[in-house]
């Protein structure tokens, strides 16, 4: 299925929300980076991630453009500035990484459901079927992200919590500035 229309509608809504955030930043000229990030994460990101556990198996540039617009606004750079430089300065996750996380959360939610629920029965039926379904595309996405071990383990919940804890999502961005270093169980950002 193609969810490009859904992604476009959500990106347009997120652009309007970003406009509201930009107006708040312009009204309060001394707003710091952490405050801007908090406003962005609470006002814009939920709109971009709405339902992305289902439709986030494919890359949609219109959603990524919203995040880049926010970065360009706050840093004050030209629209032709290099994207990798902007993303490196901000250290935010890109949309694709956020969608992988949301898909993994949805998958794990289905795994932890009671077996007598209709949603769980449909999930297991879908999982046992062929290759043209959500489970197959999610498995391909996890294999591409090198996290396929989460799919086939009976201890998926424990592994999910270990891998997807709030401290580790930057590992998914594949950016050179996000190399995981573990010191006593705590990953550090370089």
The residue whose two tokens read 């993994």 is 104
pLDDT on residue 127? 81
Largest CA distance in the chain: 55
Banded model confidence at residue 14, pLDDT cuts 50, 70, 90: very high
Mean pLDDT estimate for the chain: 76
Q: Please report how the helices 95-111 and 61-75 are oriented relative to each other, as an axis angle in degrees rounded to 10.
A: 130
Between 132 and 119, residue with greater pLDDT: 119
Distance CA 158, CA 143 (A): 19
Percent of the chain with pLDDT over 90: 12
Alpha-carbon distances, residue 40 vs 18, 63, 158 (angstroms) = 7, 14, 30
Domain ranges of the chain: 4-92, 98-188
The residue whose two tokens read 């959360």 is 105
Banded model confidence at residue 163, pLDDT cuts 50, 70, 90: low
Between 181 and 143, residue with greater pLDDT: 143
Between 152 and 24, residue with greater pLDDT: 24
Residue ranges of the alpha helices (H) in the chain? Answer: 4-27, 33-43, 45-48, 52-55, 61-75, 83-90, 95-111, 118-128, 134-144, 156-163
**Structure tokens that stand for 47 in this block:** 């709109």
Banded model confidence at residue 118, pLDDT cuts 50, 70, 90: very high
Three-state DSSP state, 58: coil
Q: For 31-89, how does the pLDDT look when each residue is reduced to its tens digit (9 = 90+)?
A: 888 888 889 989 999 998 898 888 877 788 888 889 889 888 888 887 787 777 777 77
pLDDT on residue 12? 93
Q: For 35-51, how does the pLDDT look when each residue is reduced to its tens digit (9 = 90+)?
A: 888 899 899 999 988 98
């Amino acid at each position: 299925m193609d969810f490009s229309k859904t992604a476009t509608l959500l990106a347009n809504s997120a652009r309007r929300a970003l406009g509201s955030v930009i107006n708040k930043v312009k009204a309060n000229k001394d707003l710091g980076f952490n405050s801007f990030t908090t406003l962005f994460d609470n006002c814009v990101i939920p709109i971009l991630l709405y339902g992305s556990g289902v439709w986030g198996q494919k890359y949609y540039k219109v959603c990524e453009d919203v995040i880049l617009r926010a970065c360009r606004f706050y840093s004050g750079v030209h629209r032709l500035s290099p994207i990798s430089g902007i993303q490196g300065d901000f250290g935010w996750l890109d949309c694709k990484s956020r969608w992988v996380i949301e898909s993994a959360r949805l998958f794990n939610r289905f795994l932890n459901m009671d077996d007598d629920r209709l949603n769980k029965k449909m999930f297991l039926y879908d999982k046992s079927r062929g290759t043209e379904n959500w489970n197959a595309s999610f498995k391909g996405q996890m294999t591409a992200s090198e996290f396929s071990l989460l799919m086939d383990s009976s201890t998926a919940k424990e592994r999910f919590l270990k891998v997807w804890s709030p401290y580790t999502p930057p590992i998914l961005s594949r950016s050179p500035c996000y190399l995981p270093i573990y010191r006593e169980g705590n990953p550090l950002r370089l």
